[in-house]
A = this chain, B = another copy of it.
Amino acid sequence: MTVSPGATLAAIRERKPLVHQITNYVVMNETANATLALGALPVMAHAREEVEEMVALAGALVINIGTLSPHWVDAMLAAGRAANAKGIPVVVDPVGAGATSYRTETAKRLLGEVDVTVLRGNPGEVGTLVGADAEVRGVESISVGGEPAELAREAAKALGVVASVTGPVDHVSDGETVLAVANGHELLAAVTGTGCMSTAITGCFLAAKPDAPLEAAAEALAAFGVAGEDAAAGARGPGSFHAALYDALYGLDPATLDERARVS
């Protein structure tokens, strides 16, 4: 299996997979718009009454714990189990794990009770979940011991997932191989929810390439990073950058994406 974000992007635009997202209140509009701009179809549904039926229509399930409460956790677990039963890939974003025990415990429950395909988080969040010496303040990764490439590899092994650890350089690992992705722009850190968007886009790529989650996760981050680079070109700050980010996702060119992707 090769890494080709361009080919997978072309497949997303052709098939338009439905990506079911159970995500936080802060970024719902943003991750839906990023999904749509990329070329997939988002659907947000969080009621226990409908998540199992909804996820059965989807090509991937995205679970994001950014604004938790007990009813939402129940629905996340139910949707995750239903996705597993149908063989639908599941991405989990453990937003703020390490900041409060409720978030840490919920992320651990999800990893324990659902077969998670890709775990996408920052170093502090992922470090927390593998017992590393990590500090998370709110939803920001403050510090984590060790090298990020090693953290990705260890998390993948320990948790039985593809670990996708984002930062200035992203590292994606299945426990053996580590792919480093060096695309992106610093303005991504000045807009809330760009991490959550990268998780949603990981869901889109997984839906189009479910049999190669390592490659799909790395491709997603490369594509999102290239869009960030394009959006930064004319931006005057985080507001104009944010609007331009959807333009850039919409305008991503499958024909040139592979050569612009900095995956190693």
Contact = CB atoms under 8 A, between A and B. Distances in A.
A37 to B, nearest CB: 5
Interface in A17-70: 18, 20, 24-30, 32-33, 36-37, 41-47, 49-50, 53-54, 57-58, 66-70
Contacts of A86: none
Q: Is the interface of A mostly helix, strand, loop or mixed?
A: mixed
Contacts of A82: none
A137 B99 contact: no
B33 A191 contact: yes
A244 B41 CA distance: 23
Interface in A204-247: 235-240, 242-247
A89 to B, nearest CB: 17
Contact of A36 (B28, B101, B102, B190): B190
A239 B47 contact: no
A94 to B, nearest CB: 14
B24 A26 contact: no
B242 A43 contact: no
Contacts of A102: 47, 49-50, 53
Contacts of A137: 18, 41, 57
Interface residues of A, number: 62
A100 interface: yes
A169 to B, nearest CB: 22
A126 interface: no
B53 A100 contact: yes
Interface string A135-153: 0011110000000000000
Contacts of A238: 33, 36-37, 246-247, 250
A66 B139 CA distance: 23
A96 interface: yes
Given A102-B47, A138-B18, A29 B27 contact: yes
Given A26-B28, A237-B251, 15 more contacts: A29-B29, A33-B191, A41-B140, A44-B67, A45-B68, A46-B69, A47-B70, A49-B69, A50-B103, A53-B100, A54-B138, A236-B251, A237-B249, A239-B250, A240-B244
Nearest first, the 4 closest Cβ-Cβ pairs linking A and B are A237-B247, A239-B246, A43-B138, A50-B102
9 contacts: A26-B29, A28-B67, A29-B29, A50-B101, A50-B102, A53-B102, A54-B99, A57-B138, A238-B246
